[in-house]
Structure 1
């Protein structure tokens, strides 16, 4: 369906075409509501192994949505995602709660969008070629089995037109908060129904951003808790850590996304990268996480630059670029609800030190923050094993943290 209404006074644009009339679900209509969290269109979303009367891997009913969010310049952005209404009743206090899950790094190409992978967690596009993966099933199931409504955002520019602004603090936080607003609207839930945010890696950063932006960007939401696993809170330090690993191409995701919002960065990158670097950035902009392991895995960004310096060193040469990276820093605003964060001492993608610093930054502002430290020893450094394993070991504590605060 498409939500329509009156003009300026109500925040709605002129009536937009229906999803079927518009053709591709992921192409926004020419006009749509500018109000954050508004539903632009929706349609049923078949879930993993969901065969009526035979099997239902995810215990709920899925709805694919396009909703309104905001770019960092506060202009409206159409974002897609999925809302799943559980079949299990909520047995806690008050109305059924909603958790918004921010996916971890899944890629930058439109084919990687999680809402396109709800009926089967993998899609292969031989024309690119590309392999898209949706690995949120475990955390989604845990929430649904406890009667919690789940919303998942595709983030700005994933599936929809434009580049996905990977690790852009403001835009990921907006997408999460507006997904909560949209989920409450789709479910016809009370406006004060409890909300929480969860995610790991990129999703951990998105959840952390949502937690600290909630008070100013979406003060009406009844935020109860946030779980942020391995959040990339200090992008400058993350770039150093990830360089030369199996997913070094994710640095390209970040550069591509930031260039789209900061023209001055585009000028620097064009000047400083060589032909190989330019080709790598263009390539990963159309790829998913599995693709970059094959195309740019273990490459050093020093091989992408004219000077032979890594991109982190190039960034330090330009104060205006340093400022851009610093604007993505999470921890300068106070979350308005309890937060659990996780960091792995030997995480080979997300440095432990900057997670611990986020903990200190929030505590210094008086926020209610708990931190879990994962002690798994180094296992094949650079292969991302020490980043992936803590995601699994902290899944249950993170889920329990949210459920406990929902029931208070």
Structure 2
């Protein structure tokens, strides 16, 4: 009974302080007799300035520090950011809170999510803004280890899950936030954040049962650590394996004898990685094999065969416990960072334990999938916050599991856009008409981020368009024959995408007529029309909103038009024709 009273008192004290408008403070060094604050206790809070970009709602923000627990049960202190929309909540009950679990940011202290939100450089801002636009509050943890002189315990699952849960508990205590501890709460994370979300869901019943947890969203999850490590090694995501070794060694120094396992090249690589953020290390260590950095050239399998090392990796695996709240899990079918099959296996483990799982597979690779899911995530969370039940989700789905379409690893980093939807149209200057792309139009491309090269093509079905030529109504059957798409593409160290290229297409007028009577034509532009494709913006643009290219172009004169040639050429040819093309990813499929 006394222990229960102590626990309740430790949890109630910060809430009482918050209610009184007093920011909680950490215990002082001279207060040795005072017990360490309970996990989830707000230690400090201060108003913060954040840069969320154009179109983001106005928010009130606080930088916080709070008490949490590491994977070994030891107390630690974690920092984070609380964001509350300035618009009053009118939903009838308390404003919901989403604990956003960040993906990989890098090991340097400047890479911490709170630092990047303040600087306006956080590559996950688009997902956070999507939540804020729903007028929900958001808390973003930094995870453990971003303090001065510390090393982030990257991929230490239990520590990360507890940091996420404690961030929500601490957010409710921020003076002036207007948040209520009774509010419905959800967790969303992708990649490292998906791992963290899974751990948070599994731990919540025993670790943070006071939370009113309505749902858990976990995307791109490394549910099987050994399988994920083998997939990363010597491939596109090799930098994540390097950082994972650093993070787990920091969390389990007695089980991963780091100094004994690495060679001089390994020590140099680790020192370098500790001073870089995610997109810097991504390209610096692409396709590296871990044996380059190990003493005596030990392979990955030899390292994992070391008893204590294998034990640590096994402890990070997910699916060992039921998640009481509904789960939305998703993965990219072309994911080149984390294998699809182990994500499907994780879904099955959760289902076998009675967790209600909705499982979607998106058509894209790892980075694009992170942002394509946002509209479906917010819709799914809206249903959870509205109290709509998810009973069994996709656990009873009998469809055969999808096979990975990821590009083979070990070579260039190629992001493939396979039959993405092409929307938009042409603004014909002389005719004063707008011609919309027909249903079924697609854009396919390989974007080689290593060689910085873009190669692709358009596919536009022939379509019927009503036009007025020399004042007369004409039905024209129009086609766009792709002559190739080429250009340059790059992803910089800040996660900004740049595309500069051109799409060439011959415009064809297949037939023309009126009232159902069409005269076949072989009419086409004498040369391909050139559409400039220029885009610069965050990598999040690969999300559901798609990439938009716009500009003006000249239509060459028409040829092989027969008797209609002069009139059609006069109507179509010339400069100043506008175009807007938006390339949008296909919808996901449930399994």
Place the TM-score, normalised by the shorter chain, in its bin. Answer: 0.7 to 0.9
Q: Deviations along 1:349-394, whole A, 9 cap, x unmatched?
A: 1111111111111110111111001233xxxxxxxxx211111221
Partner-residue secondary structure (3-state), 1:119: helix
Partners of 1:270 and 1:173 in 2: how far apart?
Answer: 28
Deviation at 1:74, TM superposition (A): 2.2
Distance of aligned partners of 1:310 and 1:180 in 2 relative to their CA distance in 1, 3 Å threshold: same
| Partner of residue 99, structure 1 | 98
Counterpart position of 1:221: 211
Corresponding residue for residue 127 of structure 1 = none
SS at match of 2:221: coil
Higher relative strand content: 2
CA distance in 1, matches of 2:182, 2:111: 33
How far apart, CA to CA, are the structure 1 residues paired with 2:139 and 2:8? Answer: 29
Provide, for residues 247-297 of structure 1, a one-character-per-residue CA deviation record: whole Å limited to 9, x for no partner: 422212211121123234332x43332221222123212321122135323
Counterparts of 2:92 and 2:27 in 1: how far apart (Å)? 38
Structure 1 counterpart of 2:150? 162
Matches within 5 A, 1:21-170: 30=29, 34-48=37-51, 57-92=56-91, 94-122=93-121, 134-159=122-147, 161-170=149-158
- Kindly indicate whether the alpha-carbon contact (under 8 Å) linking 1:48 and 1:57 is maintained by their aligned counterparts in 2: no
Tell me if structure 2 keeps the 8 A contact 1:48–1:58: no
Q: CA deviation at 1:399?
A: 1.7
1:29–1:342 distance in 2 versus 1, CA, 3 Å: farther
1:392 aligns with 2:371: yes
In the other structure, the counterpart of 1:125 is none
- Is there any run of 5+ residues in structure 1 with no aligned partner, and where? 1-6, 13-26, 123-133, 377-385
1: CA distance, partners of 2:263 / 2:78: 33
1:277 equivalent in alignment to 2:276: no
Partner of 2:180, secondary structure, is coil
SS at match of 1:325: helix
2:406 aligns to what? none
RMSD: 2.5
Q: Quick check: 359-368 or 135-144, which moved more?
A: 135-144
Q: 1:191 to 1:144 in 2, by over 3 A?
A: same
**Structure 2 vs 1, CA of residues 49 and 217 (structure 1 numbering), >3 Å: closer, same or farther?**
closer
The higher radius of gyration belongs to 2
User: Partner residue of 2:348?
Assistant: 360
Which sits farther off after the overlay, 295-304 or 194-203? 295-304
Which residue of structure 2 aligns with residue 210 of structure 1?
200
Task: Give 4+ residue runs of structure 1 displaced > 4 Å after superposition.
Answer: 7-12, 27-33
TM-score, length-normalised on structure 2?
0.58
Relative to structure 1, the CA distance from residue 277 to residue 46 in structure 2 (aligned partners, 3 Å threshold; closer, same or farther) is same
Local SS of the residue matching 1:266: coil
What corresponds to 1:18 in structure 2? none
Whose helix proportion is higher, 1 or 2?
1
Is the Cα contact below 8 Å between 2:237 and 2:282 reproduced in 1?
yes
Q: 1:184 aligns with which of 172, 175, 187?
A: 172
Measured in 2, the distance between the counterparts of 1:306 and 1:98 equals: 47
Query: How has the CA–CA distance of structure 1 residues 89 and 244 changed in structure 2, closer, same or farther, with 3 Å as cutoff?
Result: farther
Listed one character per residue, the Cα deviations across residues 197-243 of structure 1 (whole Å, up to 9, x for unaligned) are: 00111111111110111011001110000111101111111111122
Q: What is the number of equivalent residue pairs in this alignment?
A: 363
